[in-house]
Amino acid sequence: MLPRARPSASLRSVGSDRARFVAFTLAGLVALAALGCKRPGAAAQADGGVPDDAAAPPPAVQGENSHPDPPPPPGKPLLGITAFVTTVYAEPRDTSKKLGYLRVGAKVARSDEPVGKAGCPGGWYEIYPKGFVCAGDDATTDLESPILKAAAKRPDLKAALPYRYAFVRAVLPLYVKVPTAKQQYDSEFKLQEHLDWYKQNEATVNQVVLGAPDVPIDDRGVPVPGKHLGEMGLGKNSQELALGQLLGGETDADPIPFWLEGGKRLVPNISDFKVPDFAVFADRARRHTGLSLIGSFPTGEDHLNRRFAITTDLRLAPNTKIKPDLGSPWHGIELTDEFSLPLAFVRTQGAKTYRISKGKATPADDVEWRSIHALAGTMKTVEGVKYYRTKDKRWLSQLDVGLAVPPASFPEDAEKGKKWIEISITNQTFVMWEGKRPIYATLVSTGKAGLDDPKKTTATVRGVFKIRNKHITATMDSNEGSSVGGAKITTVAASHSPDGGGGKPAAPKAGDKNAKPGGKPDPKAPKGGKPAAKPAAPKPGAAKAKPAPAAAGAEKIPTRGDGEYGVTRRRGEGTFQLRDVPYIQYFESGYALHTAYWHDVFGTPRSHGCVNLSPVDAHRVFLWTDPPVPESWHAVNAGEDFGEGTTVIIHE
């Protein structure tokens, strides 16, 4: 069970000049050391380091979520999205500014009639709350379109993870139709041996531990005080759900969807990996790939009695080769007047408290990993190591903790009562502020190169930034590359879709109507929007195909305890794709705040430059920051149309 979190607050102070970061950090530590000399009083004075004569902070909003525009008037006609990604333009032309995008299955209020047809035979419709979408290949006014019904399940923004997720155990084809037994044997290397293994180990390999979806949260995404992991009220926690539900189904026995009945496919293949209509599968997924799922269903003997999970781009993954994943249940703490900064997060396992006497520090009691401790404001240095006094009269070593302390001075946004975020690379702490009031604090994982040069290493950039765009989900590679943030995916083989089959080409080309916000053209991308050289899909009934070299090399038969299989090795290693990474917020080209559902080492530098947050924390931050994502949209760009993004300050 997770340690019960207590409230907390932030670190140091930064002005508008980025060159002040080092001085800012030192000033924060000096402020922490001096706090013990301040007279007792209100929490903001005793714990927050705010001078007695400081101006009163603005009225507390107490962490309310950002507010999107109100819903459109009832009775407005709707536009349905039929492409995996459809761009919203500021004007009715595809060369105008991109405001954001919508995903397949979304329905958004529209104008009664097209506002024009220039470059769009189906007509440009104005949508709510603003912008224009071209009806045709990417959108339709026919709300009975089969693709809209097939993709009707939307991301759940009330949940720590917007979809159900799974990791790939063994290389698998992503089927576009429900494959027959013969088609599966033709498509999957040594399938019978794999099925025999799965039958013997099914109960063990499908076990799950409670994770992010099992943390009780309120409407703001804040963990509910007093509720334990898995206490879901009338709902079931993950260990009480059937496998079909863990893989995105409504029940354990959902029927085969209408659009897949009879071995046919009644909707187009919307993944980026294009194949002929007769193809049985569209691309393979590597081991350790993360998949997002919106449904699952069992089959009968004609299909080897396998269950198939439905991905967000409407492809099928056989369940014997994937494992449900719930992400880390770790989360930070909401700060209050009674429990606020300064705080210490225990970042090392096996940490101790200390007794200090006669210039010596002696280990005392064990202290729980990632427990959160209110500090009294007193610091001592013993043999070159700093020790911090907790309010319960114990000492913690600087070698074991990350600090969240109040700044000695506040940035401009704080003075104006605005929202802002503060991240310390040295401490791996993250604090949300409303004006001068800290409202939430947690641990994160920044770039594993620490304070090195971000231009040459995996270090996280430092400076003052604004959130540029927000994505409910987007595909990243194992190096956190993503086209939506202005960076190409670099770790996926050329034979794989550059966006994981998760939408339009990962590196959008100039003039591409489906280019995602923040994307940049790839000069090496082939024309016509087709992926680079892909192996031909096997025809039904064709002779057993030899697997591609990459697939063959990865397709050894798994055994229990095999680290490559994901049993003993933490999933999230190697080169692979992480599809539909949730709650991404870019603040600089190639750098984002985002959920990391594939690891649980928050408090330790780990990323390739982005700021990794736990699912619960990333969800909470996403709902709170500006600009909000409009209802039914999947992503939005900050700017004059939707307002400026929340400030992000990253310092040493």
Beta bridge partners of 45: none
Is a pLDDT exceeding 80 seen at residue 54?
no
Residue at token pair 């080492």: 601
- For 138, other C-beta atoms within 10 Å of its C-beta total 22
CA 461 to CA 449: how far, in whole Å? Answer: 11
Residue at token pair 């009269």: 393
146-155 average pLDDT score: 98
Please state the length of the chain.
652
Is a pLDDT exceeding 50 seen at residue 181?
yes
Is a pLDDT exceeding 60 seen at residue 42?
no
CA 559 to CA 72: how far, in whole Å? Answer: 55
Show the tokens assigned to 507.
């590196």
Using a 10 angstrom Cβ sphere, with 0-12 exposed, 13-18 middle and 19 or more buried, the burial of residue 61 is middle
User: What pLDDT score was predicted for residue 453?
Assistant: 96
User: What pLDDT score was predicted for residue 542?
Assistant: 37
Is a pLDDT exceeding 90 seen at residue 569?
no
639-645 average pLDDT score: 96
Q: Which residues contact 370 (CB under 8 A, 6 or more apart)?
A: 2, 3, 330, 345, 346, 347, 443, 602, 603
CA 509 to CA 530: how far, in whole Å? Answer: 11
Domains of the chain, each with CATH number or no CATH: 78-151 (2.30.30), 164-325 (no CATH), 329-341+406-480+574-651 (2.40.440.10), 343-404 (2.30.30)
Tens-place pLDDT, residues 326-362: 999 999 999 999 999 999 999 999 999 999 999 999 9
Tens-place pLDDT, residues 479-530: 766 667 655 444 332 222 222 223 332 333 333 333 343 333 333 333 333 3
Selection from 215, 170, 480, 249 nearest residue 329 by Cα? 215
- For 193, other C-beta atoms within 10 Å of its C-beta total 11
User: What pLDDT score was predicted for residue 29?
Assistant: 43
Q: Which active-site residues does the annotation give?
A: 594, 610
> What percentage of residues in the chain have a pLDDT greater than 70?
76
Q: Which residues contact 436 (CB under 8 A, 6 or more apart)?
A: 50, 54, 57, 58, 410, 414, 415
Residue at token pair 């340690």: 3
349-376 average pLDDT score: 96
CA 109 to CA 71: how far, in whole Å? Answer: 9
Is a pLDDT exceeding 80 seen at residue 571?
no
CA 313 to CA 286: how far, in whole Å? Answer: 17
Question: SS3 for 329?
Answer: coil
542-569 average pLDDT score: 36
Is a pLDDT exceeding 80 seen at residue 17?
no
What stretches of 174-300 show up as alpha helix (H) in DSSP? 181-187, 191-205, 243-246
The pLDDT-based confidence of 646 (bands split at 50, 70, 90) is: very high
The pLDDT-based confidence of 44 (bands split at 50, 70, 90) is: very low
Question: SS3 for 175?
Answer: strand
3-state helix, strand, coil in the chain (%, to 5): 15, 25, 60
- For 553, other C-beta atoms within 10 Å of its C-beta total 10
- Say what the pTM is: 0.80
Average pLDDT, the chain: 82
Show the tokens assigned to 99.
């405001």
User: What pLDDT score was predicted for residue 380?
Assistant: 96
Is a pLDDT exceeding 90 seen at residue 166?
yes
Q: DSSP for 463-474, please give it.
A: EEEE--EEEEEE
User: What pLDDT score was predicted for residue 62?
Assistant: 76
- For 363, other C-beta atoms within 10 Å of its C-beta total 11
